[in-house]
Structure formats: C-alpha cells, structure tokens
Structure 1
Amino acid sequence: MSLHDRTVLVIGRPSGIAAATVEMLVEAGVNVILAGRTSEKYPVDLTDESSIAALAASLGKVDHVVSTASARARGALADLQPDTIALSFATKVTGPILLAKHFAPLMPPDGSFVFFSGQSARKPMPGMLAVGATNAAVDTVVRSLAVELAPLRVNAISPGTIDTGAYDALGPDKKVALFADRATTNPAHRIGTAPDVAAAVLFTLTNTFVTGHTIPVDGGEALV
C-alpha cells in the first residue's frame, strides 16, 4: 500500500521514536498529524476518554493511527505503587482500546492501528514486572481488536533496547555499561535506534496482509 497523501495520526512525545516515525512518514508523502499531552494544536490524553473523543471529532477522517505513548512503570516489586501500575495500563492498554473505539468509525476499510508493546512481555527481568504485564496486555488487545475490527488491521511494535533517551535517567556510566552489555549479548551486536523502530511502523502500515501481530524490533534480544 502506498501511503502517499494518506493521513496518519501519530500520538506520542515530539522526540525519540515518535519523531523518527513522523520524519519517515513525511518522507513517504504522508499527511502526518502529531498529537500528545503537550501538543498545543492536537492535545490528547490517552487516560481520558473525553480527550480522545474530542480529538477524533476535531480530526474527522484519518487513514491510520499510531500510538507510541507510554508511562514509566519500572521498579522492583517492593517499590511498585498501584497508581504507577494503573497509569501504565491506562496509557498503553486502555488508551489504545479507546482510540480504536473512537477512531475506527472514521477510518477506511484499508486503514490500520499500530500500538506499542515491548520485549519485556516475552523476557521477564527484575524491575520490569509492571512494564512486562502492561506490554503483554497490549499484545492481547492487538489480537482481539484485529478480529473485532476486521478488515481494519491492528498490529503492535515491540522494541528492545533502543537509544532514544529513555535510559538517560540511569546516568551516563550506568547507561554506557548497560548498552555495552546488551550490544555484546544480543545477536545483532548493537543497540537499536529510533529509525529502526520507525521502519517497522512503516512496514506494518503498508503491508496489508499483516494484522493481529506484535513485530519485535529488538536485535534478537529476547532470544538470549
């Protein structure tokens, strides 16, 4: 499928994976609408159904919807708070369900949704319990929506370790050490980039025979 002159709504921060996705879509001739909590022109809060409904009403017809939005929920079991877990689910699980509810009626039969999961759904590790549970729920939502909304397609992207600034909170030394370790152990022998993930988004938007799947972009990290 050509995306030229199609309208794609991208929801997320104006940086990292969302920014790389927007750039790649613009290069493909797409009419891109970037929305998010901090957007002045297209504000949307995925934890608020009225906000999603308002955005849908203001935009009218769109061809594809991509949501990269997430909420940080890392932490050891002893430190996890219910509010943190709830926000993670509200942003990445309930939010996409509500996006489908309000935007599916506005989309053509060959339209699609792309949501974001993560390799923690398949590879458990300490400190990632809430993140992994959230991502596993996203995978289930994608499969269910692909059946319920057919022929609209619904897929997810599952990034591994991607250098987008998400790891900056570790501090320079710990970030460098983590990246060095994972680049050594994963089969791709490098850390992923935002364009790596954006390319997978473009694939799911254009391949009309892919639906109900979570596409890993992790350098094989989940294998080791």
Structure 2
Amino acid sequence: MRKDLECVTWKAIVLFTVLKERKMAGTLQGKTVLVIGRGSGISRAIVDAAIAEGARVIAAGRNREALEAAYKETGVSVESVDVTDENSIVALAETLGPVDHVVSTASARAKGALGELSAEAILTSFRTKVVGPIILAKHFAPRMPATGSFVMFSGASALRPEPGFLAVGATNGAVDTVVRSLAVELAPIRVNAVSPGTVDSGAWDGLGESKAPFFEKMAAANPVRRIGAPEDIAQAVIFALTNTFMTGVSMAIDGGQPLV
C-alpha cells in the first residue's frame, strides 16, 4: 500500500514538474510571430501576450518611428509595412524570411451614415482590412511551415447591423468570408479571425466627452455588463495561434453584443 502511495506521489510530482516547465516555456516558445498594427491598444496587448508565451515578436506598421518608440527596450523587432501596398508587403516578406504566425490588426474604419460615405473611404477600408490580409497570405504563406497560421480581424458589426456602420459591417463580413476561403486554400496552414465587440482600445477616444456615456450604454446592454479590454482580445489571439485543430473560424469576443 505504501509503495503504491509513493508511486502515485512520484507520478504526481513528475506531472507537476512537466506542466510547470511547459507553462514556463510558453505555448509559443521558439516561434516567430509577426504582428501588424500600432504600438498601442489591441496590437500592443497581442505583442505583450505573445512575448509572455515565449514568442519572438516582430511588430510592423506604417509608422516605424512610433513603433520603435513604443517597443523601445522590449526586445521586439520593428519593421515597416503598408498593407495597402503589395510592394511593401513583398519587401517585408523578403526581409523577414520564414515566420510561424502572422497577425494583422490593421484597419481603416469607414464609419458614417450612407449619405456621408465616400467611395474612397469604403475602398480604403477594404484595402486595409480585406485585400491587405489576402496579399499578406499570398506572400507569407509560401515562407511559413505547415504548422503556421494567420489571424485576421473582423468585428461585431458583421453580425449586428447598426446605422452608421454600413461600410464597417460590410468590411468585417468580407473578412469572415476570406478567413473561411483561405483556410481551405492554404491548408494545412491555419487561418482564423477574431471578431471584437466594443473594446476600450483607444479607437473610441475621438468621441471625447461622449465616450464615457457611450461606454456606459454599451456596458449596460451587453450580457457580460462591461466593455472589452485589449487583453480580452489578446487572449483570443493567443488561443487562435496555438490551437492546432481550429481553422476557418471567426471567434466572437464581443461580450454578447450582437445578441441584444
């Protein structure tokens, strides 16, 4: 009986040690993750989360100086890229060579009622959030391992139409379609999207004094009764990067916003 107890105890110690080592190593240990976006808000939360999981992170965006300032002394490599320019994407792919995962948070939301929308604003939204990720996949997928993945960004407006969000919703809906199509075409490389609801990421700061009452209204209506945080979205991105049995999915991290 004592020997059996000692055996069970020893196995428990070994299992605990293994799990502890895995946790310390991180789920992205030894992987290279390219995060495209700004050096703040959701992009920054994703970078921080990927680093915590052991990844080597490269941050890229249109404003390289701002990224360098944001990631100074973090160990994050910084590169320039304009996702609306295929030549810029090609140059980045050739500079970096093989990467394991690509996350694109770039967006140019064309908000406004129908009478306020311009064709150029709508096209810029699509070029940034739909066409850009397609071209990223075109040039990075051939350089990625079979275990690699892409994470794109959709949004709750794809599921819940609201006045003033016509072009935003159309863009996000297109992202959801692209994700499913690329998941099939690039297999076994995985392609997923994260679809946030209202998140206090800095994107709503332009509302000024109207921001607080808007957030209060959204929080009161959401089933989770709060506004999202960048860390909520970053956790979902890490899950998408590391769950090797998930592809072609747009994960709704929105507090249940489309339900009400």
TM over 0.5: yes
TM-score range, shorter chain: over 0.9
Cα deviation, residue 2, structure 1: 2.8
Match for 2:39 among 14, 17, 27?
14
**Is the CA contact 2:219–2:227 (under 8 Å) kept in the aligned structure 1?**
yes
2:123 is the counterpart of 1:86:
yes
2:225 is the counterpart of 1:189:
yes
Match for 1:77 among 93, 105, 114?
114
| Cα RMSD (Å) | 0.9
Q: Comparing both chains, which one has the higher relative contact order based on Cα–Cα distances under 8 Å and sequence gaps of 6 or more?
A: 1
- Partner residue in 2 for 1:170: 207
Long gaps (5+) in structure 2: 1-25, 66-77
Question: What are the Cα deviations for residues 96-128 of structure 1, in whole angstroms up to 9, with x where unaligned?
Answer: 000000000000001000000000000000000
Q: What TM-score do the two structures reach when normalised by structure 1?
A: 0.98
- Partner residue in 1 for 2:57: 32
- Partner residue in 2 for 1:5: 30
SS in 1 for 2:79: coil
Matches within 5 A, 1:43-54: 43-54=80-91
Query: Residue type of the partner of 1:208?
Result: T
Larger Rg: 2
Query: Residue type of the partner of 1:201?
Result: V
Which has the larger displacement, 1-10 or 58-67?
1-10
SS in 2 for 1:215: strand
More helix by share: 2
Partner Cα distance (1:90, 1:189) in 2: 34
Query: Residue type of the partner of 1:191?
Result: I
Report the number of matched residues: 223
The sequence identity of aligned pairs, in percent, is 62
- Partner residue in 2 for 1:218: 254
Cα deviation, residue 5, structure 1: 1.3
**Is the CA contact 2:27–2:54 (under 8 Å) kept in the aligned structure 1?**
no
Q: What TM-score do the two structures reach when normalised by structure 2?
A: 0.85
2:146 is the counterpart of 1:109:
yes
SS in 2 for 1:187: coil
Partner Cα distance (1:39, 1:32) in 2: 15
**Is the CA contact 2:194–2:253 (under 8 Å) kept in the aligned structure 1?**
yes
Query: Residue type of the partner of 1:130?
Result: A
